[in-house]
Structure 1
Amino acid sequence: MRGKPASVLTSVRVKYMAGMVVDATGSGMYLPLSLLYFHHVTGLPLTQVGAIVTTAAVIGLVSNPVAGVLIDRFSARAVLVGGYVLRASAFCTYPLVDNGVAVFAVVLPVALGDTSYPPAIQSFVAEIVQGTARDKLLALQRSLRNAGLGMGGLLAGAALALDESGFYVVVFGAAAGYLLSAALLSTIRPTAPARQPGARVSRKGGYLLVARNRPFLGLTLLNIPTAFGYTVLSVALPVYVTRELDAPVSLVGVLFAVNTVGIAVLQVPVTRILVRYRRTRAVALGAGVFALSFVMFAVLGSVSTGAALIAGVFTATGAFTAGELLHGATASALVAQAAPEETRGRHLAVYQLSWAVPIALAPTVLTALLSLSSLAMWLLLAAATAGSALGVLRLERVLPQAAVHPVRPVPSEGEPAVSPTGSTGKVA
């Protein structure tokens, strides 16, 4: 970002955020209807459609390391734009589907594109902005993506209210969103020095370097409990609120809206405050607040009064949202800076597994725990996320200091300065 005119940086941010809003709006149109669409156009049972979509998602998960290699070899922008075009092409073939084999053939490219997206977008952000600007851009991204997803859902509802052709409007609208996002992001040039496409990044090979980076692997493993915590809102909370607390089903939608609106409205101002402090402290605080919210949910099981119960549910959901605000954008910035530039794609592909695996396992694990004991589930989640918070604090001294500090601290007399790449000189 050094040496770049302010107008150029503003243009980059505007193009980037426009791409994210369009992407999120298209995704928001399709995501709520993904299973229903194929059930509607093929007549296949929902259980069969679900099995096909899950199989494609697992294959996409297994292919995640390939995305890291492609990012390091060809650039994050190439993988990001390629993933958009791949998914858009698949969506354009959705109306031709009429059997289970065809369903698998069109959802697999979408799953592969979805899998490549998280490490590609994090690597891309790391290339176009630095320092506190990275935290702020990621915060704005989370805020606007939440708004875009909500807008997409409203557009999908409006399309389906017309007639059955609304299903086709939805899939073509999602395809158009991906293509427009690809067009916008393809015009953004990285501000950091880039490697030549196709250049070898390491003579020793890719993922061996990740395996030797113990602080980064520690950060990845510590994210798993927190990632499980994120899934609570969509997996465990609806069942808990309606079955265990005997609250109306309509409350689930209201709680989801509280969380979504809270992130959309507060993420940017909260992150502007957090950039004054160490990223590790903000991430640990976020995980700690998650733990507190899970304890609150556990206590609600013993509350029987209607008004007190409703107030407690909203308070716990507010605490959960606060944990997201503290953790989300800052954790992404911390990880992107902690990954060495030469193998950033591979590192972030490995880190993405700490999200993908909990998301895949959460429906089975959390519902099984709920069936055994809801109190045990909440306390186990609380203990795990609290342990994650403490672990991140312990890692603080071995992570690259440029990753820990959004604003690089002035070194004391006799203390070596942190290099621009964030290396501390320590061998991971």
Structure 2
Amino acid sequence: MAVTDTLGLPNTKGRRPLIVAQVVDALGTGLFLPFAVVYFHAAKGIPLTTVGLMLSTGALLSLPAGPLGGRLIDRFGPRGVLVASNLIRVLTFTAYVFTDTPWQLVLLVTATLWGDSLFRPAVFALVAQVADDGHRARWYAMDRSLRNAGIGAGGLVGSTLVGWGGTSGYTAVVALNAVSFLLAAGLVATWRRTAAPRPAGDGADQAQPQPQPPAPAGEAPQERRGGYREVLADRAFLGVLATVGVFALCDLALTLLLSAYVIEARGLPAWQPGMLFAINTVMVVLAQTALAKAVERYRRPAVLQVAAVLWMVSFGLFAAVPGDHTGLAFGGLVLGMVVFTVAELLQAPTSSALIVGMAAEHLRGRYLGSEELMWSLARVLAPTVFTWLLARGAGLPWLALCLCCLAAIVVLRRLHRVLPAHVQRETVDA
């Protein structure tokens, strides 16, 4: 346990099948993620502009999935929603193999994105149930680290398959992704908790015997008492949601903005973004859990403020890189990426733990569903906003993100004053 604690890892006894399920899911996602656009173009013969329209349409149509998933989680529990999200993607990725009609693919993309949007709040809610007291941020950090490692490994396998098999390789990638979702669903569905019961009120798994009256069909005992009206009445949570939207835009800048900025706006070599992404992935895998442990004694709004400041520093470094000196520019980009990743490592588990800590147990799914909605909105807006700003000035996207971070700092400062102490910082077991 000493080594585990030093690395910032939570106690996983009795919960290892859930961890394996996450790794399997991440491996499958990594297989397909780098080829999400290219697959439909190269394997299905659909023009790139049509592919972009398909993906944007699917993203718009999937916006209600997060809030609906939150309601389902509160009603039936996160395990069932998590299994359902994986089974949805088993069906859609299997169906990808057998159709090349754009309108049918739009429906499948939309269903896939619904599965994605159900998956994320369900995972966070299930972690909130199984995590030991005071260690939720560690679980979220470990989950993120494992997912990055799995996606990276899956990407390498997927690249090998595509390079070796061409169109057949793309088909193999899609089929293996479907298999990974099926295996993950089976692991979660068949897992039975064997760890010692947690203290009352900490959200123990509803599917297991608990020292309380049973709820029908996995329904949360207090589910009928509240809904999204109660969530929206929580003004402090609305402030947190505003910061979630800002941080989502900051995070998406890595995948949607940085490559275009480096290659198109600064005219730097095309190999540089790949190296920057590799630095980010390695840092997340190696440092996420240890950093989450290091800051768990601090108040969460303060940690998030530090993350926002670090993001502003990283954006300033990105904006300042010269386009006429490749070596100097790469050095600045690497420094900016290191600072960016530290901000990301601070923000991701802390935001999740803060939202779960704010939510009453019977509304936890709805709180997490609202967080997912903010991420979905950011995914819809970011491509258009980033490219529009970039077309009008290389530094404008970074300036806009800095202003957004500044607004988040102001909101977090107010939350620091109004949130209860137990929400701002969990008590960590010795």
Query: Quick one: distance in 2 between partners of 1:56 and 1:384?
Result: 27
Query: Quick one: distance in 1 between partners of 2:132 and 2:304?
Result: 19
- The answer as to 2:23 corresponding to 1:21 is yes
> Does the CA contact (< 8 Å) of 1:275 and 1:407 recur in 2?
no
Aligned to 1:122: 124
Aligned to 1:218: 239
Paired residue for 2:387, among 367, 392, 400?
367
Residue 198 of structure 1 and its aligned partner are, at CA, apart by 4.1
Aligned to 1:238: 259
**Farther off after superposition, 397-406 or 23-32:** 397-406
Paired residue for 1:383, among 403, 422, 425?
403
Query: Quick one: distance in 2 between partners of 1:203 and 1:149?
Result: 38
Query: Quick one: distance in 1 between partners of 2:265 and 2:309?
Result: 25
> Does the CA contact (< 8 Å) of 2:79 and 2:188 recur in 1?
yes
Paired residue for 2:291, among 270, 283, 291?
270
- The answer as to 2:361 corresponding to 1:341 is yes
Aligned to 2:63: 61
- The answer as to 2:315 corresponding to 1:315 is no
> Does the CA contact (< 8 Å) of 1:73 and 1:200 recur in 2?
no
Query: Quick one: distance in 2 between partners of 1:155 and 1:47?
Result: 27
Partner amino acid, structure 2, of 1:137: W
Deviation digits for residues 153-182 of structure 1 (CA, Å, limit 9, x no counterpart):
111112123323212211111111111111
Residue 209 of structure 1 and its aligned partner are, at CA, apart by 0.6
What's the TM-score once normalised by structure 2's chain length?
Answer: 0.88
Aligned to 2:180: 177
SS in 2 for 1:240: helix
Residue 406 of structure 1 and its aligned partner are, at CA, apart by 2.3
Partner amino acid, structure 1, of 2:347: H
Query: Quick one: distance in 1 between partners of 2:221 and 2:297?
Result: 37
> Does the CA contact (< 8 Å) of 2:226 and 2:363 recur in 1?
no
Residue 200 of structure 1 and its aligned partner are, at CA, apart by 7.2
Aligned to 2:210: none
> Does the CA contact (< 8 Å) of 1:123 and 1:348 recur in 2?
yes
> Does the CA contact (< 8 Å) of 1:15 and 1:188 recur in 2?
no
Paired residue for 2:250, among 229, 236, 239?
229
Residue 354 of structure 1 and its aligned partner are, at CA, apart by 2.0
Aligned length: 401
Residue 199 of structure 1 and its aligned partner are, at CA, apart by 5.8
Partner amino acid, structure 1, of 2:305: A
- The answer as to 2:278 corresponding to 1:257 is yes
Aligned to 1:352: 372
> Does the CA contact (< 8 Å) of 2:67 and 2:372 recur in 1?
no
Aligned to 1:401: 421
**Farther off after superposition, 177-186 or 100-109:** 100-109
Residue 219 of structure 1 and its aligned partner are, at CA, apart by 0.4
RMSD: 2.1
Paired residue for 1:104, among 82, 86, 106?
106
Residue 79 of structure 1 and its aligned partner are, at CA, apart by 0.4
Residue 367 of structure 1 and its aligned partner are, at CA, apart by 1.0
**Farther off after superposition, 92-101 or 229-238:** 92-101
> Does the CA contact (< 8 Å) of 1:277 and 1:406 recur in 2?
no
Residue 319 of structure 1 and its aligned partner are, at CA, apart by 0.8
Residue 246 of structure 1 and its aligned partner are, at CA, apart by 2.2
Residue 42 of structure 1 and its aligned partner are, at CA, apart by 3.1
Query: Quick one: distance in 2 between partners of 1:287 and 1:117?
Result: 27
Query: Quick one: distance in 2 between partners of 1:169 and 1:306?
Result: 38
Consecutive unaligned residues of structure 2, counting only runs of 5 or more, are 1-9, 207-214
Residue 202 of structure 1 and its aligned partner are, at CA, apart by 5.0
> Does the CA contact (< 8 Å) of 1:279 and 1:406 recur in 2?
no
Q: 1:105 to 1:379 in 2, by over 3 A?
A: closer
SS in 2 for 1:96: coil
Q: Higher relative contact order by CA 8 Å / sep ≥ 6: 1 or 2?
A: 2
Partner amino acid, structure 2, of 1:240: Y
Aligned to 1:207: 228
SS in 1 for 2:298: coil
Aligned to 1:419: none
Consecutive unaligned residues of structure 1, counting only runs of 5 or more, are 1-7, 410-428
Residue 260 of structure 1 and its aligned partner are, at CA, apart by 1.1
Query: Quick one: distance in 1 between partners of 2:395 and 2:192?
Result: 49
> Does the CA contact (< 8 Å) of 1:282 and 1:326 recur in 2?
yes
> Does the CA contact (< 8 Å) of 2:75 and 2:223 recur in 1?
no
> Does the CA contact (< 8 Å) of 1:366 and 1:377 recur in 2?
yes
Query: Quick one: distance in 2 between partners of 1:223 and 1:76?
Result: 21
Query: Quick one: distance in 1 between partners of 2:142 and 2:11?
Result: 15
Query: Quick one: distance in 1 between partners of 2:409 and 2:15?
Result: 31
Paired residue for 1:149, among 148, 151, 169?
151
> Does the CA contact (< 8 Å) of 1:22 and 1:177 recur in 2?
yes
SS in 1 for 2:268: coil
- The answer as to 2:301 corresponding to 1:280 is yes
- The answer as to 2:36 corresponding to 1:34 is yes
SS in 2 for 1:165: helix
Residue 238 of structure 1 and its aligned partner are, at CA, apart by 1.2
Query: Quick one: distance in 2 between partners of 1:233 and 1:217?
Result: 25
SS in 2 for 1:374: coil
> Does the CA contact (< 8 Å) of 1:291 and 1:382 recur in 2?
yes
**Farther off after superposition, 34-43 or 189-198:** 189-198
